[in-house]
A and B are shown apart, each in its own frame.
Chain A
C-alpha cells in the first residue's frame, strides 16, 4: 500500500447505515435481523449482521447489530468497506427495541442520540424478574421510560407492537419490521420489505398481516395511548341496594365516592344487602373525621373505604368456591384460553384447604373445638395433607364447589367471621383515634391494612406484619415524622419474605428511642391482640 493514497478524511464520506436491535432471547430478534439483511442485499446494499446470543438466548437481554453499505460506493472504490461488529454510542441510525424497558436500556447505553437515531420501540412491558417477585407493587415507571426515549431520540416511533402481533396472530418481529418499513428510515420501498418476508418462507400470511399493521401504525405516527385497567366488578343492582347507593352518592365527597360505591356493591355481592349496610355504617364516621381533621385531599376516607371493603370481603373457602363457579368466570377462562369453535374446554382448580380453613368455615364454637382438639386436628390433617385438584367443568367437581358456596348464609356465624370482624373493629378504632391527632399518620395506618391479604402462609405472614406495625404505632405516634416512619416500616414489611427487613427496621426504631426491646413481628402479634386466638402464630 502506498502512503500517497491517503485521503481518509474528506475523500470518502460514505458511511454505513447502522442498526441495533435490542430484544430478549427467544423473541425472534434473529429473524428480524435476517429480514433486514435480505431486504438490504436485494436493495443494492452490502449487509453485515452479528449478535451475541450465547447464554443470553435463555430469556436474557440480547443485542443484534447490523451495518448496511451501498454496493455502488464499494464498487466505485473496488473494495469492501470495513464494517463494525458492535454499535458505538452516538453512531447508531436506527434502534429497534422489542419492549419498553429494552428501549430504556438502549437510551441508558447511549445508543439513542438526538442528532440521528430513529428509535422504534414497542411500548408493551415484559416485566423483569425484579418487578415480578415484589411482595406487592414492584413495577417500574413506564411513563418515565417513554419520556426518556422521547428525549433521547431524534424520532420516536412507539406503540404496542406485542398487542398488534397478538391481534394478527404473528410474532413481534414482523410488527417491528413493518414499523421499520413505515418509519422510512431505510431507503427501501414497502414492497421490498414484503418481498423479504415472502422469501423468508415461514408463516408468510400472518407475518405480512403483522407487517402491515406495524407499517400503518408507524406511518400514522401513532403515539402510545396509556392503558387504563378497566373496572372488573360486575354491577349488581337491586331494590335493596338502591337506597344504599343513593346514600353513597349524597354523602361521599369526590375521591372516596367511586370507592365507596364499589365497596357497597362488593359487600352485597359477598354476603347480602345487610352486609353492605354494615359496610356503610362502619365507613360513615370517617366522613366526619375527614371533615374535621382532613387536609383537603380526602385521602383518609378513600383509603379506609378501599381497605374496609377488601377486609370485609376476605377470601374464605365460600367466597373462592362462589367465584370459581360463576358463569362470567367460565366465560373469562374461555377467552383467556382462546377457545375456538368446535373445541371443548375443561377447567381444573388447584386447592389446598387445610385444617385451619376448614375449621374457620365452621360455626365459631365448633371451629374452636376443632382447632383445640388434637385428635380432630390429626384426623383432618391427614385428610388435607395433599392439595386437591377439582374439575369445575365436571358435574361432581362443580357440585362440590356449589355446595361450599351455598354455605354463605352460615358465614356470619363462622369462626373466621368472628375473628375478622374483631380485627376490623380494632383497626378502625386505631385509625379513627389516630386521625384526631395526626391525619397523615392515620392515612398510613389505614394503608397498613394492605399487608393483610392472600391465603395460607401468605395470609399469616401479612397478618403478623400488620400486627407488628400496629404494635409499633403507639411508639412512634408522638414523633414529628410519625407518618413517614410508618410508611418506611410498611415498605420494610413488603421488602422480603423472611421478615428480615422489618425486623431490622423495628430494631432501628427501638435504638432510636433508646428502647432496646426490639420487637420481632411474632412478639408484637402476641401483644397487640390478646383477645385473638393464638393459632394465627405460625
Chain B
C-alpha cells in the first residue's frame, strides 16, 4: 500500500462527458488515458510520476470495469518492453516512469520497440525530475527520443493541454507507427487545475483477442534484414507521416504579436513561466497576449521545418527557449534555417543559461537581453520591475546579507524512527573500530547516508547497482568494500547485477540489503518481498531465499535493525570472516513512515475503545546532558533535537527529544552500544491500564514516594 491513498480522488476517473475535473496534473493524465481507450498500462514508480502509479493502483477496480490491464512493472525496462503488445495488435498501451533514470534503464526495450514500430498507439509518459528538488543526474529525455526516433511531446503545463497531448499522442503514434514519449515536468505533474472531461472508452481491440488470435509479422522483429528495413522506414515513412500529422492537427501553437520582426520559439513546458517573464517585462498580459510572436513546440521532436520557416519569415531574430543541455533544438533550428537559406538570427543559449532550470528570473533576464539587442524600443514602458527603487534594492541586499550566514541547507534525511538510521549508526561504530571502508551506495532513502550526520558513502551508480559499483574493488587487501542496496533496488535489478555478479566473480565484498518492506523512497509502493497482503500483487517473497538461490553462502538476516550492537557485530563479522564469497546482510525493519500511517489510527481507535495501549517515547534528562551531541551525530533523527540549556551555568544547548518521537528505541540502543551518556530515558505511557497495572503502580508509588521523601529530608539536613 502506497504512502498516499487516492481512493477518494480516483472517483474523478468516472466523470463523463462535459463535466469538470479538478485535481492534480498526474491524475488528469490517468483520466486522459481512460478517455483514449487504452488497453493496458504499466510503469515503475518514482517522482514525479509515483502518484500516477498510485492512482492507477487505487483505481484498479475502475480499470477492470473498462477491461484495462495494469501492471506494476519490475523495472522501467519491463515497463517499456510491455509496449511490445502494441507492435502486432491495434492495442493502445501506455507506460510511465521517471526520467532520465527510468529512460536509461528502459532504453534497450525502447530502442527495439522504436525499431519494430507499432500498430496500436504506444505512449511513454516520463516525469522529468529536473531542477529544484531533483534527486537525480541532470540530463535530457530529448536525447533518447532522438537516438531511437521516438516522438517527444512537451505540452504547455495546464490540464487541458496535457490531456490533449495524451489523446493526440496516441493518434500520432498510430499515424506514424512510432512510439510517442510525453514529457511532464515535476511542477506540471503536481499542478492543481481543471479541465472538461469526456466519457471513458473501452478498448476497441482487447488483450483477450490478441492472446487468443496471435498475429506474426517477421518484418516487425529486430533481426536482419528487417532491422535495416526499419531504419529506412523511420526516415522514409514514419518521420514524414509524423510531420504531416503534427502540422495537420496543429499540435504546435502560434501566438501572434505586434512586434513581428522578432519571435520566441519555446518548448511547450516553458510556456507559463515564459509568459510570466514577458508580463514582468511589460511585454505580455496575464492572459498570455504577448507583443512578441510565439511559436510553442508542444512537439519538440521531430521539428516541423515548414512551420519553423514560416514563423521566421520577416523576422530579424528568434530566441529559442530550451531548458537543459546540450541545446538539441537550437542546433536543429540552425540546420533547418541554413538549409532553407533563411537569414533570421537564431539566439538561445547565448542569452539564456547554458545549464540549469529555466526559472522566471532566468527567463526574464534572457528575454530582456534579447529585446534589448533587437527591439530596445519595446522595453521600459509599463515594465513591472519589482523593487526597482534603489532604497528598496539596498534594503534587500542588506537583508540578504543579514540572513545569509544564518541560513543552512536543509537536505532531505531519514524520517523520525527510520529503521535505516541504526544501520548507519552501526557502520559509524564499526568505522571507529576498523577504520573507514569504501562504501558503494545505491538509489533509495539509504542514500541519505552520504549527508551529515553519517557522511558515509563514495559513489552511487544506479538503482540496484550498489554491489556492482564495488565490483572492481575486490582484491586481496586488508579491508573489504561495502555495498548498500535497498529492497527496491534489489528487486529492480540488484539480485542479478549486484549479487549474482558478486557470486559469479567470487567477490569477497560485503553487501547490506536494506529490507524495509516497501519501495520507500518513491512513496511506499509494495514489492515482491513486502510483508503486507496485497489483493492484486504477489508479496511475501523473501530476499534471503532469492539471495541463496543465486548462490550466496554467507547470509545473515537481522530482523530488527534497531539492535545496533547486533548490527555492528554482524557487520564486523562480515568484514573479517575468513569465509570466501560475497557476504550478504539483510537488515529488516518496516519503513517507519508506512508503519506509523498504519498503526497510529489503530492505536487511537484502541484507546478510544478503552483497550490497554502502551505508547513509548524517549526523553533526555537535561540535568545530566552536557551538550556534546554525540547521540545526534550517531542518529540525526528529526525528533532528536537541541534546546537552550535550562541550567544557568551552561551555555551550550542541551539535547532534547520532541513529542514526535515514535519510540523506535534507537536512542537507547546507541547510548548502550556507543557508551554515550546516561541521559536517555524511555517513557512507557499506558492508556486504559488494567486493574493489575493500577495495583502495581499504587504499590510502587507508595514505596518510591516514601523513599523520595526520605531523600528530601536528608538533603535538607546535609546542606
* In the bound complex, CA of A126 to CA of B658 (Å): 11
Which residues of A have CB within 8 Å of B284? 8
A135 on the B face (CB < 8 A): yes
B275 on the A face (CB < 8 A): yes
- Type the 1/0 row for A265-277, where 1 means its CB is closer than 8 Å to any CB of B: 0101100110000
Which residues of B have CB within 8 Å of A84? 272-273, 275-276, 360
Which residues of A have CB within 8 Å of B403? 104-105, 107-108, 144-145, 148-149
Task: Name which residue of chain B comes closest to A84, CB basis.
Answer: B276
Minimum C-beta distance from A350 to chain B (A)? 4
Which residues of B have CB within 8 Å of A349? 678, 680-681
Q: Are the CB atoms of B623 and A59 closer together than 8 Å? A: no
B260-286: which residues lie under 8 A (CB-CB) from chain A? 260, 271-273, 275-277, 279-280, 282-286
A104-128: which residues lie under 8 A (CB-CB) from chain B? 104-105, 107-108, 110, 112-116, 126-128
Q: Are the CB atoms of A345 and B644 closer together than 8 Å? A: no
B452 on the A face (CB < 8 A): yes
Task: Name which residue of chain A comes closest to B705, CB basis.
Answer: A327
Q: Which of A127, A326, A497 contacts B708, CB < 8 Å?
A: A326
Q: Which of A85, A147, A342, A350 contacts B681, CB < 8 Å?
A: A350
Q: Which of B286, B360, B703, B704 contacts A82, CB < 8 Å?
A: B286
Q: Which of A37, A140, A231, A348 contacts B408, CB < 8 Å?
A: A140
Total residue contacts A-B, CB cutoff 8 A? 448
Which residues of A have CB within 8 Å of B448? 58
B409 on the A face (CB < 8 A): yes
Q: Which of B157, B286, B453, B673 contacts A15, CB < 8 Å?
A: B286
Minimum C-beta distance from A332 to chain B (A)? 8
Assuming A1-B255, A83-B272, is B668 touching A60 (CB within 8 A)? no
Give the size category of B's interface with A: 35 or more
Which residues of B have CB within 8 Å of A306? 649
Q: Which of A115, A132, A145 has the most CB of B within 10 A?
A: A132
A131 on the B face (CB < 8 A): yes
Q: Are the CB atoms of A129 and B280 closer together than 8 Å? A: no
Q: Are the CB atoms of B704 and A393 closer together than 8 Å? A: yes
B343-377: which residues lie under 8 A (CB-CB) from chain A? 359-361, 364
Which residues of A have CB within 8 Å of B387? 90, 113-115
Minimum C-beta distance from B557 to chain A (A)? 22
Which residues of B have CB within 8 Å of A259? 648-649
Minimum C-beta distance from A276 to chain B (A)? 8
Q: Which of B279, B285, B360, B719 contacts A86, CB < 8 Å?
A: B360
B192 on the A face (CB < 8 A): yes
Assuming A54-B135, A86-B359, is B677 touching A389 (CB within 8 A)? no
* In the bound complex, CA of A325 to CA of B399 (Å): 49
Task: Name which residue of chain A comes closest to B406, CB basis.
Answer: A140
Task: Name which residue of chain A comes closest to B659, CB basis.
Answer: A338
Q: Are the CB atoms of B680 and A350 closer together than 8 Å? A: yes
Stretch from B55-63, B390-398, B469-477, B534-542 forming part of the interface with A? B390-398
Stretch from B328-336, B489-497, B710-718 forming part of the interface with A? B710-718
A478 on the B face (CB < 8 A): no
A91 on the B face (CB < 8 A): yes
B686-719: which residues lie under 8 A (CB-CB) from chain A? 686-689, 693-694, 697, 699-700, 703-705, 707-708, 711-712, 715-716, 718-719
A183-219: which residues lie under 8 A (CB-CB) from chain B? none
Which residues of A have CB within 8 Å of B567? none
Q: Which of A51, A116, A266, A462 contacts B649, CB < 8 Å?
A: A266
B622 on the A face (CB < 8 A): yes
Q: Are the CB atoms of A54 and B48 closer together than 8 Å? A: yes
Which residues of A have CB within 8 Å of B65? none
Stretch from B36-44, B169-177, B630-638 forming part of the interface with A? B630-638
* In the bound complex, CA of A109 to CA of B681 (Å): 41
Task: Name which residue of chain A comes closest to B453, CB basis.
Answer: A133
Q: Are the CB atoms of B396 and A48 closer together than 8 Å? A: no
Contacts A85-B188, A133-B452, A450-B652 supplied; 15 other A-B pairs, CB < 8 Å: A6-B258, A50-B192, A54-B129, A57-B412, A58-B412, A88-B276, A108-B400, A108-B407, A144-B402, A232-B623, A326-B708, A337-B617, A344-B693, A346-B683, A386-B565
28 contacts between A and B (CB under 8 A): A3-B256, A5-B289, A8-B284, A50-B191, A52-B132, A54-B129, A59-B410, A60-B133, A74-B287, A84-B360, A115-B392, A128-B408, A129-B411, A133-B632, A145-B403, A151-B396, A232-B623, A236-B715, A324-B681, A327-B708, A343-B685, A347-B682, A347-B683, A349-B681, A350-B678, A389-B672, A398-B703, A405-B711
